[in-house]
Amino acid sequence: MSVRPAWEVRENESATRWFEFRLAFADGARVDALALVTGRSVCVEEVRAQPALSLDDLAVLAAWIEEAIADVCGTGPGHGGGQGRRARPAWPHGEEGCRLVAQEYRAAQRHGTDPVLAVMGATGHGRRTSLRLIRRARDAGLLPPRRARR
């Protein structure tokens, strides 16, 4: 992920700043965004993605942008603790990856949150890929079948 200040407008003591974001993935996917920062609020003004993003992917993108702006602006907007975040976290393949997907899925169920969103957040992948990872964990016997077949 790269973050570049685009421009800034100052009025008295306050400033409004725009930042350009680019996320490039190894598989060729790319996301470009423009965000506006005023005081402690962030507004994403424009997003261009190839391939297109789902609404769930946009929510993950918003969290990345918020953390990146918090890093760039110091203690500025967001709830980040100053820790950087890569565009897509490293996720192990094979058996270890399936085991971690199952752990994330079960933890979300225990906390009453959406397990698919939890896997998406942990892996950095979109909904389709996360569902594929969950299916692999089910096939490996780490999660129960989705529903009883009739």
pLDDT top residue among 40 and 44? 44
Q: What is the pLDDT of residue 86?
A: 43
- Residue-wise pLDDT for 15-30, tens only, equals 888 889 888 877 888 8
pLDDT top residue among 150 and 48? 48
**In the chain, where the domains are located:** 2-72, 94-139
Find, among 53, 80, 58, 54, the residue nearest to 69 by Cα.
80
Q: What is the pLDDT of residue 83?
A: 40
H-only helix segments in 43-149: 55-72, 94-111, 115-123, 127-139
Backbone phi and psi for residue 58, each to the nearest 5 degrees, phi listed first: -65, -35
- Residue-wise pLDDT for 43-90, tens only, equals 888 889 888 888 878 878 887 887 777 777 764 454 443 343 444 556
- Residue-wise pLDDT for 77-135, tens only, equals 544 433 434 445 567 778 888 999 999 999 999 988 888 888 888 887 778 888 889 99
Give residue for tokens 């957040």.
121
- How far apart CA 13 and CA 67 sit, in angstroms, is 24
Q: What is the pLDDT of residue 80?
A: 40
Q: What is the pTM of this model?
A: 0.46
